[in-house]
Amino acid sequence: MTTAINGRHIPDRLTSPAARALKSWEGLLLVVAVAIFILNALASPYFLDPWNLSDASFNFTEKAMIAFAMAMLIVAGEIDLSVGAIIALVSTVMGLAMTLGTPTPVLVLLGLGTGLLCGAFNGLLVAGFGLPSIVVTIGTMSLFRGISYIVLGDGAFTGYPESFAWFGQGYVFWVITVELVIFALAALVFGVLLHRTSLGRMVYAIGNNATAARFSGIRVERVRFILFLLTGLMSGIAAICLTSRLGSTRPSIAAGFELEVVTIVVLGGVSILGGSGSVLGVVLAALVMGLVTFGLGLLNVPGIVMSIVTGALLIAVIAIPRLWAMARRR
C-alpha cells in the first residue's frame, strides 16, 4: 500500500502512525462508533444518562466475551455455531443444581465446568476425529439445546440466590458493571494470547496454511482443541452472567447468540476464511453493535428489525471487501 503526497507515492511505513491507524479497519470502526454515539445522543434525550449508558453495556458484553474466543477460532480457520446452545445447557445445569440448594461458588464452578466439557466435546470431534467444525457444531447446537428442552420443557428454573445475582446485576463502582469489568479483562487476556504469545502465532499460521503449519512442527490438532476449550469456557462465563442478569433459566435462553457473535467477529475485521484479524477490532465491533441495538431500543424499534440489521451487517462486512477487491481489479 502507498500514500500519495504532492503527486508522489510513498510507502505506508513512511507515513505517520496516526495516518496508518485511520486507514485501518479498526480506525474505520472507531469512526463509525463515534458517529453512532453522536447520532444516538441527538435522537434520544435519554441516551447520555450515565445509567442508561451503563445498561447499554448489557447489549454486547456477554456476546463479546464469547466473540474473543470465537475470533481466535475463526482466525485458525474453524467456527463454533453451538455457543448459544452451550449457554442454554450451562444455565440448565446450574438451574438443576440451584434447586438442590447448591451455594453460589459451586454454581459458578459447575457453569465453568459444563462450558469446558461442551468445548472439549466439540474439540474432540473436530481435532480428534477430523470432522468439519461447521457440521459438528451445527449438530451439537441441536444436541445441547435439545437436552435443555428435555429437562425443562416449557418450564423454567427461578429463585437463584441473591449472591448469584451479583455477576449479572452487580456494580463494581458507580455505573461500572461487573459484566463490563469481565469484558475488559477478557479483552486484555485474549489480546495478549492472540498478539503476544506463541499460541497466537500458531493460530495465525494454522489459519493461513494448516498443512504448512503442520510441517513446520506445530501441533495443529492440539491448538484446535485448545481453541474449542476456550470457546466453551467463555460460553460458560457468558452463561453465568446472562443467567444471573435474567434471574431465571429457560431452554430458549441465548437463542440467536451464534449469529450475533459471528457478526461481531467478522465486523471486527476477522477474515471468515481465517488467517487474519485482531482483538481490538472485535472490541470496537462489539461497541458498534451495542450502540446500534441500544439506540434502536431507545427509539422503540421492534426486535425483529434489530435482527434484520444484524443479518444485514453480517452480509455487508463479508461482501463489501470482496466487491471492493473486484472493483479495484477492474
Instruction: Sketch the domain layout of the chain as residue ranges.
Output: 49-295+302-329
Instruction: Specify the CATH number for 49-295+302-329; select among 1.10.3470, 3.30.310, 1.10.30, 1.10.10.
Output: 1.10.3470
Query: pLDDT higher for 259 or 124?
Result: 124
Across 268-289, average pLDDT:
94
* Locus of grid cell 462465563: 237
Indicate the pTM of the whole model.
0.91
Residues with Cβ within 8 Å of residue 183, at least 6 apart in sequence: 57, 60, 61, 64, 65, 286
Would the pLDDT of 313 be above 90?
no
Across 195-211, average pLDDT:
97
Q: How many helices (H) and strands (E) does the chain have?
A: 15, 6
Would the pLDDT of 5 be above 70?
no
For the chain, state the CA radius of gyration: 21
Residue 8, strand partner residues: 5
Q: What is the pLDDT of residues 235-252, one digit of tens each?
A: 999 999 999 999 999 999
Would the pLDDT of 15 be above 90?
no
Would the pLDDT of 122 be above 70?
yes
Would the pLDDT of 324 be above 60?
yes
Contact 54, 175 (CB under 8 A): yes
Would the pLDDT of 230 be above 60?
yes
Across 211-221, average pLDDT:
96
C-alpha of 304 from chain center: 21
Helices of type H across 209-302 = 210-215, 220-246, 257-267, 279-298
Determine the Cα–Cα distance for residues 130 and 123; give it in Å rounded to an integer. Answer: 10
